Amino acid sequence: MSLSVTHFAVGATLTVLVETYLVPNISYPRAIAILGGIWAMVPDAQKLSPVFQSELATLHYSPLANVFWFHRWLDVTDSGDSVAVAAASLFGLFVATVVSERRSYRALERVREFAGEATEESVK
């Protein structure tokens, strides 16, 4: 089973990529990225929940757990709680965030350039 931080980082990374390339005009992208990381950890709720532990454990070990950003697949692939995998997933989150930020800033520059050109043309 993977470390929880691995699940969080993978979920947040995939959410950032979806936001950046599929839904670029979404409001509150950083908050939604955090929610994506939390979504990836839902099958691990059995460790914290005082109720429904058997149902949550069933979800955790079922293929349905892959709906939560490939949770089951990560657990099977990284069965040794690897710190290296956790570090790599956190680095992936960092890279995806930098790409997303750069893309959003460049989009704003294009809008400013377009607005500036439109203003200059209207003055002429």
Domain segments of the chain: what residues? 4-123
Per the CB < 8 A criterion, the answer to whether 69 and 10 are in contact is yes
Which pTM was predicted? 0.82
**Residue 71 scores a pLDDT above 70:** yes
pLDDT of residue 111: 63
Per the CB < 8 A criterion, the answer to whether 52 and 22 are in contact is no
pLDDT of residue 124: 56
**Residue 123 scores a pLDDT above 60:** no
- pLDDT digits 0-9 by tens, 74-91: 999 998 999 999 999 999
pLDDT of residue 11: 98
Label residue 117 by pLDDT band (50, 70, 90): low
> What is the four-CA torsion angle of 88, 92, 94, 96, rounded to 10 degrees?
180
Label residue 110 by pLDDT band (50, 70, 90): low
Core vs surface per residue 57-73: b (16+ CB within 10 A) or e: eebbeeeebeebbbbbe
- pLDDT digits 0-9 by tens, 3-24: 999 999 999 999 999 999 999 8
**Residue 112 scores a pLDDT above 90:** no
